[in-house]
Structure 1
Amino acid sequence: MSSPSKDLKETESALRSVIEVLIDAQDGFKKIGEQIKNETLKEYFLAESLTRAQFRGVLESILHQEGVHDVKESGTAAGTVRRAWGDVKSALGAGDHSLLSTAEESENEAVEAYARATETYIPLPVRQVLTTQAAHIEKSREFIKAAHDTGK
């Protein structure tokens, strides 16, 4: 039985880190979509939650193709704390502005996770997937920031 190569381990570690952040975003955006009052933003966040699930599925499929079969992730501790804090703010009557602030923090974390992942060795086809996903997340971050800034 051969041991996984160093490159495969680096790729697996990088993808797992991104998957954890995608889990956070998927859960967080779903909650924000359920709580936000603005209907346009509600639809946006629920759709982005599904997009994060799709991104996660693609990355998990890549890991499966590379022979990694145990891809059970639960998100990051920071993401769990952020969602809990968002729940507290919502329960205390925080409005859309506060929810957008939470979403903006989440997107900043996602952009950083993708940047860290692409700093390691990643095979070109996987790098292309990450680059495409990161571009989408960057556009999402800009949209959320604009919505947040408009609400000030």
Structure 2
Amino acid sequence: MKEIQETTGILNDLIAIHNDRIAGYQTALKELKTDDTDLERLFTGMIGESQDIRETLAAEVRSAGGDVERGTTVAGRIYRAWMDVKAAFTGNDRKTVLANCEAGEDAAQNAYKMALKEDGLPSYLREVLTSQMQSLRASHDEVRALRDAA
């Protein structure tokens, strides 16, 4: 029973990270200029990616009899507030938006690294999380490349 609670706790932490990621990219979409259609497509795709991953994780939590996390992390709320403050001083320029998004992607990578270090995580879930982390890494690298080009 303890292992199931620990596993659902790990999965719910990752669900909260994806809730943060969705909210962060929704905020980023609001900060885009009208000519940033490439970023609009990218951020919309990343929102969809997190929604899909979140649903996969939620299904695992439900199958273990747990309650699915609905909120965001405290750090995520603080991060989004900082994005809003920082944007007010920088004029919502493309590079700043991308730098903020990359910081969020770094946080997601770190959350997955920590989750994968946990003992007692079933091997099939370890494979699922590893695959999700690789997908998120590709998104991170795309955001970083765009930031560097800005």
Which of the numbers 70, 74, 78 marks the counterpart of 2:71?
74
In structure 1, list runs of 5 or more residues that go unmatched.
none
Q: Distance in 2 between matches of 1:104 and 1:48?
A: 12
- Per-residue deviation, residues 6-49 of structure 1 (Å, max 9, x unmatched): 22122112111111111100111122123223211111001101
Q: Percent identity?
A: 29
Other-structure match for 1:115:
113
| From 23, 30, 35, the counterpart of 1:34 | 30
CA distance in 2, matches of 1:119, 1:95: 37
Instruction: Give the secondary structure class of the aligned counterpart of 1:75.
Output: coil
Aligned-pair CA distance for 1:139: 0.7
Instruction: Select which of 11, 16, 38 maps to 1:15.
Output: 11
Q: Over the residues paired in the alignment, what is the CA RMSD in angstroms?
A: 1.3
Please, what TM-score do these two structures have when normalized by structure 2?
Answer: 0.91
Quote the Cα distance in structure 2 between the aligned partners of 1:138 and 1:45. Answer: 15
Equivalent residues of 2:12, 2:69 under 8 A apart: no
Equivalent position of 1:84 in the other structure: 81
| Cα distance in 1 for residues equivalent to 2:85 and 2:25 | 16
Q: Calculate the TM-score normalised by the size of structure 1.
A: 0.89
- How far the C-alpha of 1:91 sits from its partner, in A, is 3.9
Structure 2 distance, partners of 1:101, 1:82, is: 12
The separation in 1 between residues aligned to 2:47 and 2:30, in whole angstroms, is 11
Task: Give the whole-Å Cα distance in 2 for the aligned partners of 1:85 and 1:132.
Answer: 30
**What CA distance in whole angstroms lies between the structure 1 residues aligned with 2:44 and 2:84?**
16
Q: What is the one-letter code of the residue matched to 2:127?
A: Q
**Following superposition of structure 1 onto structure 2, how do residues 30-69 of structure 1 map, counting pairs within 5 Å?**
30-37=26-33, 38-68=36-66
**CA distance in 1 between partners of 2:123 and 2:142 (Å):** 29
